């Protein structure tokens, strides 16, 4: 009774997660070092502020007057956010969405017809395969080079372009490697986009969480035909349940105007963003500044703790992430699938093998956003299990 597409989305549970279910069925708890939802790890937007913001927003939504692009006050607040970073993106070039995943779906439908291709970095978060399938487009991977700090291999990226290529996805800070694209990479991407007439989809959801000095270079600062910048409140303000994201367009004025017209129609078809949430946006940006600063500092602190522990792991190496919530650990000659299962079985700790993200063997992937005491205990156990495997 299901469509071919729906039938193809019926995935089986892999061995690692079958093992997790088995352990949990025995009454044991699992320390999840994969989930990047910081609200599960002691970081939450101040409840007292939300208790002030939400009732006032509710009063403003008593009369339903939807705008397909999103309420103007919310879009102006987002425009001001970019203005403070030195980038001018008028509110008229911003569209609100119910989260970045939907923003990707809008972007894919905006830019590509059925069977067209969109380039996506490898490694990458596995979400894109499903969004691409639902959009009817084909994802083609381009490599990030671990030996150069996970930088984009621009030559190999360009070699993957075909007559069906319509856009390039840039994720910076990247998930899961933590790579932040530098000026040279962004200049190179912009040049490739101009030469081949491609759009850039720039995912900046981890952009507030840089682990070193300096600011975030943004694709919107460079001369591309069309840049579709994605962001939202899930990571930025630790508000995943608020379901608020946005698309901001920059580039050639004619291309931007055409894209905004199409996006407005797509959004008007669904009007999916809560009016209550939209009416919170300005106040969250204004009242949440201090929280965001302390939140970003806490992420840096938790990475510093994790880094000290990882640096002591024999025969393992990692590229320091420059941003985000995740790190990839090269475990040398140890089988990554076996290592993830052994860590789960012996220590009740969940980490992912690298192949979940299309990383070449042998790697483990995990987040470092857990409470400091959990990070210390869990990584000590990970080290113990890996050391045992190395000796065997």
- At 182 the pLDDT is 97
Q: Which residues contact 263 (CB under 8 A, 6 or more apart)?
A: 69, 95, 106, 110, 247, 249
Helices (H), 119-182: 127-135, 154-159
Q: Which residues contact 376 (CB under 8 A, 6 or more apart)?
A: 305, 309
Strand order in the sheet with 151-152: 94-97, 245-251, 226-232, 199-203, 165-171, 117-122, 138-145, 151-152
Structure tokens at 200: 């850039």
- CA gap 207, 127 in Å, rounded: 19
Across the chain, what does the average pLDDT equal?
96
Question: Distance of alpha carbon 296 from its chain centroid, rounded?
Answer: 16
Our CA angle for 384, 388, 392, nearest 5°, is 170
Characterise 270 by phi-psi region: left (phi > 0), alpha (psi -120 to 50), beta (else): alpha
Three-class secondary structure of residue 141 per DSSP: strand
- CA gap 298, 284 in Å, rounded: 19
- CA gap 159, 30 in Å, rounded: 43
Mean pLDDT by 10 residues, the chain (392 residues): 78 90 96 95 97 95 95 98 96 98 98 97 90 95 97 98 98 98 98 98 98 94 97 98 97 98 97 97 98 98 97 91 98 95 98 96 97 96 95 84
- At 392 the pLDDT is 81
pLDDT single digits (tens) 92-126: 999 999 999 999 999 999 999 999 999 999 999 88
Q: How many CB atoms lie within 10 A of CB 135?
A: 23
Q: How far is CA 15 from CA 29, 339, 346, in A?
A: 18, 13, 16
pLDDT single digits (tens) 25-59: 999 999 999 999 999 999 999 999 999 999 999 99
Q: How far is CA 383 from CA 185, 346, 348, in A?
A: 35, 12, 13
Residue ranges and CATH numbers for the domains of the chain are 4-44+289-391 (3.90.1150.10), 64-287 (3.40.640.10)
- At 248 the pLDDT is 98
Structure tokens at 184: 């040279």
- CA gap 7, 11 in Å, rounded: 9
């Amino acid at each position: 009774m299901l469509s071919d597409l729906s039938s193809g989305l019926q995935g089986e549970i892999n061995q690692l997660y079958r093992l997790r279910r088995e352990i949990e069925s025995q009454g044991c708890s699992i320390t999840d070092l994969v989930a990047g939802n910081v609200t599960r790890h002691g970081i939450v937007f101040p409840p007292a502020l939300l208790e002030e913001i939400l009732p006032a927003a509710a009063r403003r939504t008593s009369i339903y007057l939807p705008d397909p692009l999103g309420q103007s006050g919310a879009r102006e607040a987002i425009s001001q956010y970019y203005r403070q970073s030195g980038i001018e993106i008028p509110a008229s070039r911003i569209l609100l969405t119910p989260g970045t995943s939907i923003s990707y779906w809008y972007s894919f439908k905006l830019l590509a017809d059925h069977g067209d291709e969109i380039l996506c970095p490898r490694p990458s978060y596995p979400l894109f395969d499903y969004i691409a399938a639902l959009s009817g487009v084909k994802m083609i991977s381009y490599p990030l080079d671990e030996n150069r700090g996970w930088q984009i291999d621009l030559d190999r990226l360009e070699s993957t372009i075909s007559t069906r290529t319509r856009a390039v996805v840039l994720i910076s800070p990247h998930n899961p490697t933590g790579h932040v694209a530098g000026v040279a990479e962004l200049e190179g991407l912009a040049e490739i986009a101009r030469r081949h007439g491609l759009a850039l989809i720039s995912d900046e959801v981890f952009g507030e969480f840089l682990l070193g000095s300096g600011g975030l270079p943004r694709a919107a600062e460079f001369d591309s035909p069309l840049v579709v910048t994605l962001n939202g409140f899930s990571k930025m303000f630790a508000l995943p349940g608020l379901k608020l994201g946005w698309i901001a367009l920059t580039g050639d004025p004619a291309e931007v105007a055409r894209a905004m017209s199409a996006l407005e129609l797509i959004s008007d078809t669904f009007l999916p963003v809560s009016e209550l949430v939209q009416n919170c946006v300005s106040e969250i940006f204004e009242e949440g500044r201090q929280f965001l600063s302390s939140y970003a500092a806490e992420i840096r602190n938790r990475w510093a703790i994790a880094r000290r522990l990882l640096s002591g792991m024999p025969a393992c190496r990692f590229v320091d992430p420059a941003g985000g919530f995740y790190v990839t650990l090269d475990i040398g000659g140890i089988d990554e699938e076996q290592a993830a299962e052994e860590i789960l079985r012996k220590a009740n700790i969940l980490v992912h093998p690298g192949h979940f993200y299309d990383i070449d063997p042998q790697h483990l992937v995990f987040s470092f956003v857990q409470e400091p005491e959990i990070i210390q205990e869990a990584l000590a156990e990970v080290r113990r299990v890996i050391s045992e495997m190395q000796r065997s």
